[in-house]
Chains A and B, each alone.
Chain A
Amino acid sequence: MLEIRNLHVQIEDKKILNGLNLTVHDGEVAAIMGPNGSGKSTLSYVIAGKDDYEVLDGEILLNGENLLDMEPDARAAAGVFLAFQYPLEIPGVATMTFLKAALNAQRKARGDDELSTPDFMKRVRAGAERLHIPQDMLKRALNVGFSGGEKKRMEILQMALLEPTFCILDETDSGLDIDALKIAADGVNALRDPKRSFLVITHYQRLLNYIVPDTVHVMSSGQVVKSGGKELALELEANGYADYRSQAA
């Protein structure tokens, strides 16, 4: 599914990723953990194609295609979905309008027909219901005035609608109380599929109680310094990141 080889990235002359390697297989849920500043969020932005990052070396292959050659929207059409740590507010754009524009743009890029309005509405309603998103929220401007939990749920709803093959969850647990976290995790778990992979970025082990990973990778100073099974997360929770900080330095 996803293969990252020797990735070096800097932003404004500051090196963030230093030869990162990572493989995520079809249907795998991979967790990325690491201390603050280890480059976790940078990794998510670089995969999705944010402008500000300069890739100095390496490649990111999604099913054999090099993502680095593609614009952000082409990457989305190719199946990459990033659930943002801080979803953006778009005043003046109704959530429904936005969802429809995004879904149809992706369908168009993949050569599918646009969805009819009733079909679209049906899908949105079903998804919203599962995530406890009230209907009137869909009429409001996207994320404007939404609570932290509502914004995160809206990200998961988009993930469900756009049917990506590779999902990145960037600190989806931050700012969520336990109930909101469960709803979000249920939403993600419902999307688990042998053909869909996940990269779950988190600082804390807590989220991984609800989204149980197949593999856990520890990042430090812009590299993956250790990989293992889900038990690695528990180990980190117990011992902290101190060992890995020194290791990378």
Chain B
Amino acid sequence: MADLTPNVTPMRTAAENQLLALFPSVKARLPGASAERQQAYDAFAQAGLPHRRVEAWKYTDLRAVLREAAPLADVPSAALLGEVRAKPSPFAGLGPSLVIVDGVFEPSLSDLDALPAGVEALGLAGALGAAQPVANLGEAAVADDAVLALNAAFMTDGVVLRVAAGSKVETPVFVRFVRTGGEPRSTYTRVLVVVGEGASLTLGESREGPAGVAHQDNAVLEIVAGDRATVSHVVLNTEGRGSIDLSTVGVKLGAKCLFNTFALATAPALSRRQIFVHFAGENSKISLNGGALLNGRQHADTTLVVNHAVPHCESRELYKHVLDGESTGVFQGKIIVQPYAQKTDGQMMSQAVLLGDNATMNNKPELEIFADDVVCAHGATCGQLDDDLLFYLRARGLPKPDAEALMLQAFVGQALETIEDESIRGVLESVVEGWLKARM
């Protein structure tokens, strides 16, 4: 009887049609072999843009939000590059930067000569164009996801960063994604980081761009870590209001690895940060953290899938949302413990403070557990700033805005504390302070 219902195929939206039309027109000039790109494009054509009936995108209806798919960004002119050169990185002075302008890796703006010993970097477009396939590409970012498929179809450029086995790199390395221009354009970039056995790396990402331009960025970061590798990763997005930031992080860890990531979102109109972590070796530990401070009609979505495929691994997640105005925060975190992944220890926490009467927080922490000898827990809270605490602070003489700012700073601070590099943490703390000051 159920067969009587016709199988409904939703109408293609304008943005979907634009994306579908875009590929044939640009594929000839995209670097590297086209077979994989075609395959990814077909997967996207099949799925379309994700929408609320796709469980992983339940709270971020990209099909509804993305009215138009912006054309691919133009290759930046020399004049533009000059402007970019004059603009300091938010992480200036903390370490060498690799600079990607409007989706194109710019060696002339990058500190290639200043890279620490043991670190090798090259442009992705160049690597894709070489005769040999790029080793490890596509190894860590594996998911049945339309946004990831779009990146695989369209990726124009990016960086391949390799850290030699045993290299303990002290100086952080930064990748800057700089956007220019006043018209909305899209970029598809991919950064591949391969950290050899026993090596360590701190990687900072900054997303910078003009205010008020609805740029669309689809960025993928792949991290492949060998046994006993340590990777710390921080993302700061100060790209101007109006942008749509879709980023996917794929992480594959060997045995006894340490991986730590933190992302701070204050700027984009819409951000979706999806992190897929695959434990491939035993006794590894991860710590995934982030904060979002939003107002107006901003929307920030963090979606995590932590796959414990082997025993004896540990995962920690701590996410904080501060939601003012009519903003929306989304946290979806899924811890999967596969059969035989015994002794898994997974703890996840998502906390939100709603400041605006019309703000929304959607939490979906999830446990999917197929092994018995595990300790897994998740928690989620949302609410207002505690009235009693606020009164206590005011009774000590702090005016209300100062008291609120102090409480919010402490609230986000608990997540910021997970950033190990003090200088990098300082930069993010000052962004948080700036946001709180602007609110006072």
Contacts and interface: CB of A to CB of B under 8 A. Distances in A.
Nearest to B412: A92
A93 B409 CA distance: 8
B410 A72 contact: no
A73 B399 contact: yes
A71 B394 contact: yes
Nearest to A164: B397
Contact of A92 (B387, B400, B413): B413
Contacts of A80: 395
A13 to B, nearest CB: 19
Interface stretch (A15-23, A102-110, A213-221, A237-245): A102-110
A102 B410 contact: no
A165 interface: no
A49 B395 contact: yes
Interface residues of A, number: 32
B431 interface: no
A80 B395 CA distance: 8
Contact of A73 (B397, B406, B409): B397
Contacts, number: 81
B395 A48 contact: yes
Contacts of B398: 73, 101-102, 105
Contacts of B400: 71, 73
A91 B414 contact: yes
Interface stretch (A82-90, A127-135, A183-191, A224-232): A82-90
Interface string B409-430: 1110110000000000000000
B402 interface: yes
B124 to A, nearest CB: 40
A51 B388 CA distance: 9
A50 interface: yes
Main secondary structure of the interface of B (DSSP, over half): helix
A33 interface: no
B397 A92 contact: no
Contact of B397 (A51, A90, A97, A162): A162
A90 B410 contact: yes
Contacts of A84: 392, 395
Contacts of B397: 73, 76-77, 102-103, 105-106, 109, 162
Nearest to B398: A105
A158 interface: yes
Contact of B410 (A77, A93, A103): A93
Contacts of B386: 88
B396 interface: yes
Interface residues of B, number: 23
Contacts of B387: 51-52
B395 A90 contact: no
Most buried by A among B395, B402, B410: B395
A146 interface: no
Nearest to A106: B397
A158 B163 CA distance: 52
B414 A92 contact: yes
Contacts of A71: 394, 399-400
Given A101-B406, A105-B399, A105-B402, A72 B394 contact: yes
Most buried by A among B386, B391, B409: B391
Most buried by A among B386, B387, B396, B414: B396
B411 A92 contact: yes
Nearest to B386: A88
Contacts of A73: 394-400, 403
A15 B402 CA distance: 33
A162 B396 contact: yes
Contacts of A98: 393, 396, 406
A97 B407 CA distance: 12
Interface string A23-66: 00000000000000000000000001111100000000000000
A51 B384 CA distance: 15
B389 interface: yes
Contacts of B413: 92-93
15 contacts: A71-B394, A73-B395, A73-B396, A73-B399, A88-B386, A92-B414, A93-B410, A98-B393, A98-B396, A102-B393, A105-B396, A105-B398, A105-B402, A141-B410, A158-B396
